[in-house]
A = this chain, B = another copy of it.
C-alpha cells in the first residue's frame, strides 16, 4: 500500500526544519559558533525565532540535530537507511570492513558541506568544555561505539586478541585521521587510512 501523503502542516514543518538546519550549518561555517545566534538562524531560514524555540531549547541543540540530519542525508544518498546508517559492515574480513568505513569517512571529511561546520563546532568544543562534551556524547561517541561492536565481534572470531580493550584499540586508526583532518598535519587519502588499518591490526614490530 502506498504511503499516505503527509498533511500540509507536516510538510510545511518538514520544509522549515530543513531550512533551519541549512541556515544553522551555514552560519556556524561562516561566523563560528560564538557568533551564531537563534535570531540569526531564524532570519536566514526565513522563519520566526519562536518557530525555532518551539522545537529546540538552544543553538547547540539545533546544530546537533542539523549534524545528525546531515549524516542521515549522506546515508540516504549512499543507499542506506534507518539502523544501517551508522552500522559498520561485518563480512568476516575485519581489515576490509574497517578500510571501507574509513574510506567513506575520508570522503565525508573532504566534503565541503560537512567540513566547514564540523570544523567550527569541533574548534568550539576544544575551548568550550560544555559544548565539547555535548557533541562528543551525542555525535562522536555513538559512532565510536560502532567500532567497539565490530572489534568485539572480531574478538569472538579470533581476529583480534581477547585481551585488547576495543575502546582504546579503535583510536589507533580513528584518531590519526581526526588529527590530520583537524591540524593539516598530512594528506588524507584512502591509501593512508588503509595503511592505518594494516599497522593497527598487524603491529609495527616484525611478526
Residues of B near A123 (CB, < 8 A) are 123-124, 126-127
Residue ID in chain B nearest A192 by CB atoms = B168
Question: Which of A4-12, A15-23, A77-85, A133-141 lines the interface with chain B?
Answer: A133-141
Number of A positions contacting B (CB below 8 A): 51
Q: With A123-B126, A202-B203 known to touch, is A179 a contact of B171 (CB < 8 Å)?
A: yes
- Give this chain's copy count: 2
Q: Which residue of B lies closest to A161 (CB)?
A: B206
Cβ < 8 Å to B, chain A residues 150-207 = 151, 158-161, 164-165, 167-169, 171-172, 174-176, 178-180, 182-186, 192, 195-196, 199-207
A57 to B140, CA, bound (A): 39
* In contact, A171 and B196 (Cβ under 8 angstroms): yes
Nearest-neighbour CB distance to chain B for A193, whole angstroms, equals 10
Please determine whether B199 and A169 come into contact, CB atoms closer than 8 angstroms. Answer: yes
B172 touches A200 (CB 8 A): yes
A56–B204 Cα distance when bound, in Å, is 43
Q: Which of A171, A172, A196 has its CB near the most chain B CB atoms (within 10 A)?
A: A171
Given A160-B205, A199-B164, residue A184 in contact with residue B120 (CB < 8 A): no
Task: Decide yes or no whether A132 CB sits under 8 A from chain B.
Answer: yes
Complex: A202 Cα to B164 Cα, angstroms: 11
By CB atoms of chain B within 10 A, which of A176, A180, A203 has the most? A203
Contact A164 B32 (CB under 8 A): no
- Pick the contact of A168 from B122, B127, B182, B199 — CB < 8 Å? B199
Chain A residues engaging chain B, CB cutoff 8 angstroms: 32, 119-120, 122-127, 129, 132-133, 136, 140-141, 144, 151, 158-161, 164-165, 167-169, 171-172, 174-176, 178-180, 182-186, 192, 195-196, 199-207
20 A-B contacts (beta carbon < 8 Å) = A119-B127, A120-B127, A122-B183, A123-B127, A136-B184, A141-B185, A159-B205, A160-B205, A168-B176, A168-B199, A169-B199, A175-B176, A175-B179, A199-B203, A200-B200, A200-B203, A200-B204, A202-B203, A203-B205, A207-B207
